[in-house]
A and B are shown apart, each in its own frame.
Chain A
Amino acid sequence: MEKEGSKEIYQNNSVKITVDKEWCKACGICLEFCPQKVLAADEGGKPYPVNLSACTRCGLCELRCPDFAITVEGVEGKKDV
């Protein structure tokens, strides 16, 4: 995990998930509805990937995030959602 301001970046060879810890309000929507159960809650209820390799980059967490706090990108740089 890398940090960039309030953002935490998680990355493997194919996917990069960024969580803005300041904007996130720990509503739990991304955790509940991730089809691959990629995300888990930290002690504050905010998401981090526990199973990054299972991510299919469907982007539903990003699209349903009410706080613009989570993004999913392909590692080539282009967004894939």
Chain B
Amino acid sequence: MKRDIEYYLRREAFPHIWCAGCGNGIVLGAILRAIDDLQWDKNEIAMISGIGCSSRITGYVDFCTMNTTHGRALPFATGIKMANPEMKVIVVMGDGDCSAIGGNHFIHAARRNIDLTAIIVNNMIYGMTGGQYSPLTPSGRFGTTAPYGNIDQSFDLVKLATAAGASYVARGTVYHIRPLISLIKKAFNKKGFSVVEIISDCPISYGKMNRMQSAPEMLKWIRDSAVSSKVWENLSEEEKKDKYVIGEFLDVEKPEYTELYAMVVERAQKLEVGK
């Protein structure tokens, strides 16, 4: 049975704090529609976030929620999942949160292949602090701390998560909304560490520094810079700059961490551990 989205919201916390047109609300909607499609019980869901605009997501949903410290959402979530493997644990992070201060936690959660879903809202900027460049700001773009253009290379989270050992890796956008809901749903259903990077818009902090004045303008840019794998493969390196390949990149079956630990418990209880 389909439910109104409001069933999943803490109504008293609305309207939310995000700026007009911010992609965080679109991402939240996509997550809730995926949950609704799966008919998950609200009591079984733990949603954990770090610090940043997108991390405020957890305050708005009627689940077991935690708005933790900057970059640390994944280890908090790891503790919850280990203590109670029955819980469905969703982690929402921003690009700076996940890939800068939380970068080490991200690769290690993937390495363990623990059954969590990491959703990264990539608006390519530190929005809450006013528009500083992040590890996912493309080279050449502008931020308040890159006033002459960003000279850093940006991470490719899809490649990073794949190399680090995740089970499911996808990238979507807030413009391509129906495919996004499907990607999130698949990630939720995956046993193991699943990652969905979502290209999102920050019209205030990123848009204004990069010649996009409004949310619709940013969404058009996202629409026009997203390409499928097939198109991507035929692009030159020069053409790939400022483009994003979207879709599913990894979907494999392998041993999951809490299941492996259950085997450790079994082994420990069977063996006589000597002095």
Residues of A within 8 A of B (CB): 22-23, 25-29, 31-33, 60, 63-68, 71, 78-79
- B22-30, B144-152, B237-245 - the one binding chain A: B22-30
Q: How many Å lie between the Cα of A78 and that of B175 in the bound state?
A: 25
Q: How many Å lie between the Cα of A28 and that of B6 in the bound state?
A: 22
Could you tell me if B18 and A66 are in contact, using CB atoms closer than 8 angstroms? yes
The number of A-B residue pairs with CB atoms under 8 Å apart is 69
Could you tell me if A29 and B22 are in contact, using CB atoms closer than 8 angstroms? no
Q: How many Å lie between the Cα of A68 and that of B4 in the bound state?
A: 10
**Closest residue to B32 on the A side, CB-wise?**
A68
Q: How many Å lie between the Cα of A36 and that of B131 in the bound state?
A: 35
Could you tell me if A27 and B15 are in contact, using CB atoms closer than 8 angstroms? no
User: Which 8 A-B residue pairs are closest in the complex by CB-CB distance?
Assistant: A66-B25, A27-B21, A32-B216, A25-B20, A27-B20, A63-B177, A27-B215, A23-B15
Could you tell me if A33 and B26 are in contact, using CB atoms closer than 8 angstroms? no
B214 at the interface (CB under 8 A from A): yes
**Closest residue to B219 on the A side, CB-wise?**
A29
**Closest residue to A26 on the B side, CB-wise?**
B20
Q: What chain B residues lie within 8 Å of A25 (beta carbons)?
A: 15, 19-21
Q: What chain B residues lie within 8 Å of A71 (beta carbons)?
A: 4
Q: What chain B residues lie within 8 Å of A65 (beta carbons)?
A: 25-26, 29
- Interface size on B, as a range, is 20 to 34
Could you tell me if B177 and A29 are in contact, using CB atoms closer than 8 angstroms? no
Q: Is the interface of B mostly helix, strand, loop or mixed?
A: helix
User: Chain A CB within 10 Å — which of B19, B23, B26, B33 has the most?
Assistant: B26
Contact of B26 (CB < 8 Å), options: A22, A28, A66, A79: A66
Q: How many Å lie between the Cα of A31 and that of B18 in the bound state?
A: 19
Could you give 26 example pairs across A and B, Cβ below 8 Å? A22-B15, A26-B20, A27-B21, A27-B22, A27-B203, A27-B216, A28-B214, A29-B215, A29-B216, A32-B216, A33-B216, A63-B33, A65-B25, A65-B26, A66-B22, A66-B23, A66-B25, A66-B26, A66-B29, A66-B215, A67-B15, A67-B16, A67-B25, A68-B9, A78-B2, A79-B2
Could you tell me if A68 and B14 are in contact, using CB atoms closer than 8 angstroms? yes
Q: How many Å lie between the Cα of A25 and that of B53 in the bound state?
A: 17
Could you tell me if A64 and B15 are in contact, using CB atoms closer than 8 angstroms? no
B178 at the interface (CB under 8 A from A): yes
Q: What chain B residues lie within 8 Å of A32 (beta carbons)?
A: 216, 219-220
Q: How many Å lie between the Cα of A71 and that of B2 in the bound state?
A: 14
